[in-house]
Structure 1
Amino acid sequence: MVDVLPSILVVDDEPRSLESIERILSDSFEVHLAANVDEAEAILQREWIQVLLCDQRMPEMSGVEFTEKVRSEYPDIIRMIISGYTDSEDIIDAINKGGIYQYITKPWHPDELISKLNNAIELFRLQRENERLAVELKLKPDTLEQALIEKRQALKSRYDWDAGIVRSPDSCMNAICDTIRTVAAFDVNVLLMGESGTGKELCARALHYNSLRQDKVFVAENCGALPDELLESELFGHKRGAFTGAIEDRVGLFELANGGTIFLDEIGDTSPAFQVKLLRVLQENEIRPLGSNTRKPIDVRVIAATNRNLAEDVKNGKFRQDLYYRLATFEIELPPLRERKQDIAPLAIALLNEAMDQLGKRVKGISEEALRCFENYRWPGNVREMQNEIKRMLVLGQKDYLGSELVSPHILHATPEEEEADMALLTSIDGSLKQRIEKLEARIIKETLIRLRWNKTQASQELGLSRVGLRNKLERYGLERNDNIESIEETVA
């Protein structure tokens, strides 16, 4: 049985905005569009919606007011606000009244929006699972307790440095996994450094689930996504009336994570004022919620992450030196995907398995030619970008394997390092004119054939060759289509 796509309702009074969001999300989600609140309510009555993505500024009702209404009538739906305005009072109202999961500001990046929606879908699934487990707990607690133990073991295995972090036998990640193995057992703060999408949160979870705190809570917060007041409220909590919109007490993430681990992502984007408050918490191991005079002791391991060079920011006065040393008891730097060429094939297969489970669609593997295209690309978005590309290919694929004809054009046309070397040969003083021309000709023919899905008739027409002439050149240069499949049968067995 094929699972249906996750269902999302987008409410926005701007037609262009609706069209743009639908175009971006339609490959991964079942998207329902509403231009006003009445249309949205009609959809909610007849469709099973998992996530609501609502514009804040609408003529008949604000996004906060509508999410507040949805919260009372459809409490299971994950609610998100999207807005071109960053007024802190709007954000606070959205969090407290509408109970929103995310407040997304315009302009948004497609990959980031898809990632946040996927997280929302996962939260919806976990809520439903939690409700089911709560019912089972009342009926058969002994059985459920054993199931919970098994789930914990599976979770630990998922983030094990040997199994959870996918890599090849000769990967440069092996040394990092060895470091995780060593550091995880010691209760020290860790600073993870690397570009966005390199797997910093995955490593943070591996550190937690292989530590002495593995049976306690792991919580995460993106510190660069919220203004200071909201970030303080999220991390340290607040009392009712502490600020405009604080209509009830709120427990902060540090208190929730007491005894466990807190992951502070994008720590380098925090303001100097917040850095001072965080330093005090780390120095004294206690928090004071906003609006409260009472301090609460905490026992939390802090794992921070950044895509910035914090050491350089310290020199430039952009980041506090004392906080840096508090966070960076141990530093781990994660390499970008372009420096992990040998990991691309196993990563692609692992991500394909995840995509098949999420989308309910099965294939047998990925062609070697598609993987070569992956290896030739620099992946500026790293693993997250590859994850989205494979989902896209899986949705579009009509065969038993994912071939190069499904690869996005900007990846398909990427210049591999070997061909860059060939181009260097063309402009160097070494090699004859004939050798240089032949290398260039072979490259042009190969790129044309891949772009045209190896349709030799079209390729010969575009290149101005006869079919016989093209065939002769393919034989001369040893060019042939490689449709061997990188099998995933062992992986999914």
Structure 2
Amino acid sequence: MSEVASLPTVLVVDDEVRSQDAMRRTLDEDFTVLTASHADDARKQLERYEVSVILCDQRMPGLTGVEFLKEVRERWPDTVRIVISGYTDSEDIIAGINDAGIYQYILKPWVPDHLLDTVRTAAEARVLQREMHRLDLELRTSTPVLRQRTAHKLEKARNTFDFDRIERAAGSPLDGVCEMAARVARYDLSVLVLGESGTGKELLARAIHYASPRASGAFVVENCAAIPDTLLESELFGHKRGSFTGAHEDHPGLFQRANGGTVFLDEIGETSPAFQVRLLRVLQEGEVRPVGGVRTVPVNVRVVAATHRDLEQRVREGLFREDLYYRIAGISLTVPPLRERGGDIEPIARRLVREVSAELGRPGAELSDEAMACLMGYPWPGNIRELRNEIARAVALSATECIEAQAFSLRVLHGQAGLSATAQATPLPRSGTLGERLDAIEAMILRETLLRHRWNKTRAAKELGLSRVGLRGKMLRFGLEG
């Protein structure tokens, strides 16, 4: 089997070249992306390379996506299987969830951020699952001494995600959030995590799970915004054999598979009122009724939900059930956006550089002072997800291990929506002495010039009529360089 690269490999199977190209552009910074236009080509790729995740379109010439993924499950069971299709195919997808072992169903038109997040999670799940299986096998077949060592490794694997993994600076606004989360983790209360997309809500949810008495149980994730109600019900609550065309055997839902553990319901604010009724009953009664079933199945799970929506406002608008809101919001935690915790940017950025450079096979990469200053001056509307993508781009484009500001996109270099927002947030000073007002204006001009020249001090100094030493002195004076 050939090695493609150190990055996890994703195989995109789609007969439309434009769809292949769109998915490649979305994924190629984080993964090695292979493509195939039909099942025969995909088989050749799977035989040649070690594929972590396969993305397969449902409608293709010959075999459907589900039919092909059934074959993949039999021949390459370690590969995580994701199918992409439209609402009209939902019944076929539901029927194939169990037979094909489909990890996730992504609706068209897919959203790049959601596709990338889903594939990342799938790849991580594959790594963790293989490690857990390996350790479990060692635990059952080794000598007493080795069993003790393996048990320690297994416990360490289960605690991969904890509060210490949530990177932040000393005195960060996240300290209070993590402190409260750690206190409530030990109690079997439902938790609602609020915050913008990309702030790390799932990471906090995982930390809560692994700090709880349920740590040895499963932690399962479902994005409620990604799939239609019919499929969501089957995925969460399961279905019975014969409940619809193609349901050849019983399929346990995520609530049953997570029995004794935690279910993380992401983007719960996007669910329909009809689904909310079913979910409320499950949470109240502690039992699920599979689609097509007449008997209920008891389940013992903890629910952690998350949303970027203002659920209280949606309750007032009649878009979210008030009784369900109070059921899931036993404890509410809000993860602040990155722009409100600027001190966290540096430690998060340095950690991301270490992780991304290792993934890309360029260990040792680090940020220059100018690059860090540039990152610190950007508002990051996409939060940590956007920061990670920008760092991956910079690591890939940098010719040396030292990443300079020039490697960042123009959006970040120029402050983008950020520059006009920064200008609005820092208008010309209307108070203070003449010297203080002139200093404020000078600092604004220096920053704007440096951003425009991508933090190239030689060009900025030349435009401003300063020596390079003089420019550096002013930068230090106004705190424009770390």
Whether these two folds match at TM > 0.5 is yes
Aligned mates of 2:414, 2:313 — CA distance in 1? 35
Q: Which amino acid aligns with 2:446?
A: A
Give the match for residue 267 of structure 1.
Answer: 268
Give the match for residue 190 of structure 1.
Answer: 191
1:368-404 C-alpha deviation (Å, 9 max, x unpaired): 2222222222222211222222222222333222221
CA positional deviation for 1:454: 4.8
Question: What aligned pairs does 1:8-407 form with structure 2 within 5 A after superposition?
Answer: 8-83=10-85, 86-133=88-135, 135-137=137-139, 139-140=141-142, 142=144, 143-144=146-147, 146-153=149-156, 155-156=158-159, 158-160=161-163, 163-407=164-408
Q: Which amino acid aligns with 1:60?
A: G
Given that 2:373 and 2:481 are in contact with CA atoms closer than 8 Å, whether structure 1 keeps it comes out as: no
Give the match for residue 474 of structure 2.
Answer: 478
Change (3 A) 1:144 1:406: farther
CA positional deviation for 1:275: 1.2
Given that 1:449 and 1:455 are in contact with CA atoms closer than 8 Å, whether structure 2 keeps it comes out as: no
What secondary structure, in the 3-state scheme, does the structure 2 residue paired with 1:450 have? Answer: coil
Aligned mates of 1:476, 1:255 — CA distance in 2? 62
Aligned mates of 1:98, 1:258 — CA distance in 2? 22
Change (3 A) 1:434 1:263: closer
Given that 2:135 and 2:150 are in contact with CA atoms closer than 8 Å, whether structure 1 keeps it comes out as: no
What secondary structure, in the 3-state scheme, does the structure 1 residue paired with 2:105 have? Answer: strand
CA positional deviation for 1:109: 2.9
What secondary structure, in the 3-state scheme, does the structure 2 residue paired with 1:379 have? Answer: coil
1:82-118 C-alpha deviation (Å, 9 max, x unpaired): 2355531243244244332222223333332222222
Q: Which amino acid aligns with 1:92?
A: I
What secondary structure, in the 3-state scheme, does the structure 1 residue paired with 2:428 have? Answer: helix
Change (3 A) 1:233 1:437: closer
1:5-24 C-alpha deviation (Å, 9 max, x unpaired): 22222222222222333333
Match of 1:424 among 424, 427, 443: 427
CA positional deviation for 1:316: 1.2
What secondary structure, in the 3-state scheme, does the structure 2 residue paired with 1:33 have? Answer: strand
TM-score of the superposed pair, with normalisation by structure 2: 0.87
Aligned mates of 1:475, 1:439 — CA distance in 2? 11
Give the match for residue 491 of structure 1.
Answer: none
What secondary structure, in the 3-state scheme, does the structure 2 residue paired with 1:308 have? Answer: coil
CA positional deviation for 1:300: 1.9
CA positional deviation for 1:311: 1.0
CA positional deviation for 1:81: 2.0
Q: Which amino acid aligns with 2:45?
A: I
Give the match for residue 450 of structure 2.
Answer: 446
CA positional deviation for 1:339: 0.6
Change (3 A) 1:356 1:472: closer
Aligned mates of 2:60, 2:151 — CA distance in 1? 44
Q: Which amino acid aligns with 2:65?
A: G
Q: Which amino acid aligns with 2:49?
A: E
Contiguous gaps of at least 5 residues in structure 1: 487-493
CA positional deviation for 1:362: 0.6
CA positional deviation for 1:357: 4.1
RMSD of aligned alpha carbons: 3.4
Given that 1:2 and 1:360 are in contact with CA atoms closer than 8 Å, whether structure 2 keeps it comes out as: no
Change (3 A) 1:353 1:212: same
CA positional deviation for 1:304: 1.3
What secondary structure, in the 3-state scheme, does the structure 2 residue paired with 1:264 have? Answer: strand
Aligned mates of 2:15, 2:195 — CA distance in 1? 39
Change (3 A) 1:218 1:43: closer
Q: Report the identity percentage.
A: 46
CA positional deviation for 1:211: 1.9
Change (3 A) 1:346 1:85: same
Aligned mates of 2:227, 2:360 — CA distance in 1? 32
CA positional deviation for 1:176: 1.0
Aligned mates of 1:157, 1:95 — CA distance in 2? 28
Q: Which amino acid aligns with 1:74?
A: W
TM-score of the superposed pair, with normalisation by structure 1: 0.85
What secondary structure, in the 3-state scheme, does the structure 2 residue paired with 1:48 have? Answer: coil
Change (3 A) 1:406 1:233: same
Given that 1:442 and 1:477 are in contact with CA atoms closer than 8 Å, whether structure 2 keeps it comes out as: no
CA positional deviation for 1:439: 5.7
Aligned mates of 2:240, 2:380 — CA distance in 1? 44
CA positional deviation for 1:353: 2.8
CA positional deviation for 1:197: 1.5
Contiguous gaps of at least 5 residues in structure 2: none
1:18-66 C-alpha deviation (Å, 9 max, x unpaired): 2333333333222222233333233233333222222222233332232
1:277-333 C-alpha deviation (Å, 9 max, x unpaired): 111122222222222222222222221111111111111111111111111121111
Aligned mates of 2:395, 2:20 — CA distance in 1? 25
